[in-house]
A and B are shown apart, each in its own frame.
Chain A
Amino acid sequence: SAVISQKPSRDICQRGTSLTIQCQVDSQVTMMFWYRQQPGQSLTLIATANQGSEATYESGFVIDKFPISRPNLTFSTLTVSNMSPEDSSIYLCSAERAGGPSTGELFFGEGSRLTVL
């Protein structure tokens, strides 16, 4: 298994500001992902964080709003830019175990709960 640490665990932010969430995995993983869980909603994939190249974004999410970095195999950041109250969510970092077919067995961090005022 892999242990994923995220920080901050929670924050209260002002409208129009940006916040960067950090994600650290305790072992090398092939794939890292960022998910969002809006209040009362299911988890939605924002993007796949690719090591050494630009992230791959899902429909409805763009790089200008959610820039992602992944400088190595164990670390990634997600920035939520120019925040509005609609960005109030739990943001979750996840990773897939290395090796074998990709089946969806992901490890998740504890999440970063952002509240935008």
Chain B
Amino acid sequence: DQQVKQNSPSLSVQEGRISILNCDYTNSMFDYFLWYKKYPAEGPTFLISISSIKDKNEDGRFTVFLNKSAKHLSLHIVPSQPGDSAVYFCAASRYNQGGKLIFGQGTELSVKP
């Protein structure tokens, strides 16, 4: 049972344009949603998160939107830069069980100059 799904395995975007990465989940008990970024041969690094009581969280070029009714979240990167090229994982957790993350399959973003 895949509780967190990223249906797009890859995404290609032109530098300077917006990148939109999508994620769907099935468990309405999740309290936090997170995005991690992973470069080859490195471990994932935390990028941005959102609590289930919010619908938007912004940090510089990165914004995460949460639509609880649709059980859907998205990560917007504006403007996209070549250094953003990486695999992006969506993850979810329940309150005070933060280490027990449920990850999506990942979306590989390629930002072309």
Contacts and interface: CB of A to CB of B under 8 A. Distances in A.
Give the bracket for the number of chain B residues in contact with chain A: 20 to 34
Main SS of chain A's interface residues? Answer: strand
B89 A103 contact: no
A101 B104 contact: no
Interface stretch (A11-19, A37-45, A72-80): A37-45
Contacts of A58: 100
Contacts of B99: 31, 33, 45, 48, 94, 96, 102, 104, 106
A106 B98 contact: yes
Contacts, number: 74
B101 interface: yes
Contacts of A4: 43
Contact of A48 (B49, B93, B100): B100
Contact of B95 (A31, A44, A94, A101): A101
Contacts of B32: 103-104
Interface of B: 4, 32, 34, 36, 41-46, 49, 51, 89, 91-93, 95-101, 103-106
Interface of A: 4, 31, 33, 41-45, 48, 58, 92, 94, 96, 101-111
